[in-house]
Structure 1
């Protein structure tokens, strides 16, 4: 299963209803600071886990002076039919419906106090209740009661940029490390040493051995029996001690680290070391071949907030590779400002969402909606431009090349548009000749800023001109983006710049 769609309203800075379409595997969330990227992940946890005394409270999570309730709606898909076959979720079978060719289950948590008619009776619903959309009755209903069942649909592991990673180096089998240990324990249970432990446990708790612990408990059981029989009647009883479940062993475990300053439990190390270990565990999980053999079949959703922190570029690239592998079996959310992690974006398997601006000026683009060159997916250069406002020579070349190809396709076969033709076209599009390019001492000519930048990129050997500044590159890139957008929107350029 995976989370297919998220809708938020009156959540922090998201006042108007905002919808995010999400992918099965890796989902990148990039963009400006304070744009709401973390709020997207917090909204998911708010819906599935509810507010607590210290998380997602009304004073910190709800929009200030909101006009209407705070509301989060989620569609889950990709296996909900199997979910409702489980006994505790069987009551949700009639809540399934089809959306965009997939069977989905829609959940809502809202701060609105309201009354819903269910089975002919009025039922009060508030933010403590998660409701499910019934397609026939066309209403949200609370049919699972307490949130425990909802919390159990997914295993969330969220590592926040400002959190202590030691909190997430967790041995519970719902976490990445716990799943690795669970898989390792499954393999260990096949060894002779484990079989010896089973035999020793059977001997220690045998009911026919005078030295068994059960003999020690017989007197206690008989004393309780006597008291019960005196007061209530006959009641034979005995104690039984079975072999502990593997999870019991895991709960007693601790990870110790010696970084040269002495060995201590991991939570005693600095935040840098803790985070490095947490990310290392995640990368190891990506390589693990046996985690799917464990009994825990609840889907894992991994959330990473700025995982690039404290990682050098090559380590970020390796982390990106590992997260891509995890995305083949689990849903992953990555909030990042790193162009190195973004380099690992694969349009065939991943989903990228750019959140630019804030409040009413916020703009949200997905990877399938802002591919500037008409091919449906953005280039790395465009992603960095849209997400981080970064201008690069590569992106400038892509833009300039798109326009040049557009002009090439209007010429006879085998002919290419020359530099002066491209510059004339840019002037026709409204750009100005504000620069002078000196090819050599006796040949200078006026040009647009994009033309000047293009010549500087392609002719680094020419030192007669003033070097291109960051401001020049920004102006040239913005102007070329504007021209390309007009070409695409008007239908004068198709895929790859081909004239319509």
Structure 2
């Protein structure tokens, strides 16, 4: 196949890998536009790491092209790119995770922590072993929402008078109540968090690891606190245990 670039025509095999990938993506996109025509023959596409040398935005366009092709054909993709996987749809996509240790190859499909699984953070964690801020936020938010809902149901079923009921419901939004719940679930409340008060002064508070990290994530303007990657990983693992149990 010949390719003309800047007025010079050469064999595609003589072009750089990036140009070859760009050409392949263009062909796939063109094919995706015509593949839905009547009487189109079903094909099987096996594509190995299509994201190589592609900008994340180009990867978005590529997976959209594969999505069109998959309406009439079967597409198999091996990838290490979270940008491709973030387009996952449980209704018509299937993910299989493979890993190897020595000569042993294992596979699994464990991305079902949430009713809305898999999330991008979840995919990054299980497929690539990446502990992300996004996944920590998802775990924390999911646990907090479940805790709040359970406590609210208990309060509404009780005979608590109206004024006291309102006070108890308002307490549910207080981070201390949820932090106490995390203590009940096995976290130690042993990390010092330095909070900036409304008057600009600081105060020290003891928090669990998830709450400590959550506060740092949600308040980047507060530069008095820092966490390390191992703490993020530890907090993530423990919250997964709470959800799965």
TM-score by length of 1: 0.42
User: How big is the shift at 1:458?
Assistant: 1.5
Question: Is the 2:45–2:74 contact (alpha carbons within 8 Å) kept by the matching residues of 1?
Answer: yes
User: Of residues 168, 185, 206 in structure 2, which corresponds to 1:446?
Assistant: 206
Distance 1:448 1:286, change over 3 A: same
- What is the Cα deviation at residue 355 of structure 1? 2.0
**Structure having the larger proportion of residues in helix:** 2
TM-superposed deviation, 1:256 = 1.7
Stretches of structure 1 that go unaligned for 5 or more consecutive residues are: 1-254, 487-500
Q: 1:226-265 maps to which residues of 2 (within 5 A)?
A: 255-260=1-6, 262-265=8-11
Partner of 1:392: 132
Counterpart Cα distance in 1 of 2:212 and 2:36: 57
d(CA) in 1 for partners of 2:97 and 2:125? 10
SS at match of 1:420: helix
**RMSD value over aligned CA atoms?**
2.4
The C-alpha deviation readout for 1:3-37, integer Å capped at 9, x for no partner, is: xxxxxxxxxxxxxxxxxxxxxxxxxxxxxxxxxxx
- Determine which of 174, 182, 187 is the counterpart of 1:431: 187
CA distance in 1, matches of 2:102, 2:38: 42
Shift of 1:418: 2.7
Q: 2:162 is matched with which residue? A: none
1: CA distance between counterparts of 2:13 and 2:204? 66
Structure 2 counterpart of 1:283, from 26, 29, 33? 29
CA radius of gyration, larger in: 1
Residue 317 of structure 1 corresponds to: 60
Give the 5 Å matches for 1:322-401.
Answer: 322-358=65-101, 363-366=106-109, 370-373=111-114, 375=115, 377-401=117-141
Aligned to 1:352, the other structure's residue is in SS state: coil
Contact kept, 8 Å, 1:342 with 1:380, in 2: the verdict is yes
Residue 15 (structure 2) pairs with residue 269 (structure 1): yes
Residues 404 and 417 of structure 1 are in contact (CA less than 8 Å); yes or no, is this contact kept in structure 2? no
Distance 1:258 1:483, change over 3 A: same
Cα 1:370/1:362, change in 2 over 3 Å: farther
1:485 aligns with 2:219: no
1:199-214 paired onto structure 2 within 5 Å: none
Counterparts of 1:361 and 1:476 in 2: how far apart (Å)?
A: 29
Q: Cα–Cα, structure 1 residues 386 and 482, in superposed 2: closer, same or farther, change >3 Å?
A: same
Report deviation, 1:428: 2.0
Q: In structure 2, do the counterparts of structure 1 residues 423 and 363 end up closer, same or farther at CA, with 3 Å as the change threshold? A: farther
2:96 partner SS: strand
By how many angstroms is 1:292 displaced? 4.4
Return the match for 1:474 from 233, 236, 243. 233
TM-score, length-scaled by structure 2: 0.82
Q: Are the structure 2 counterparts of residues 292 and 275 from structure 1 closer, same or farther at C-alpha, using a change threshold of 3 Å?
A: farther
Q: Higher RCO, 1 or 2 (CA under 8 Å, sep at least 6)?
A: 1
Q: Is 1:402 equivalent to 2:134 in the alignment?
A: no
Gaps of 5+ in 2: 157-165
Residue 372 to residue 362, structure 1, CA distance change in 2 (3 Å) = farther
The size of the alignment, in residue pairs, is 225
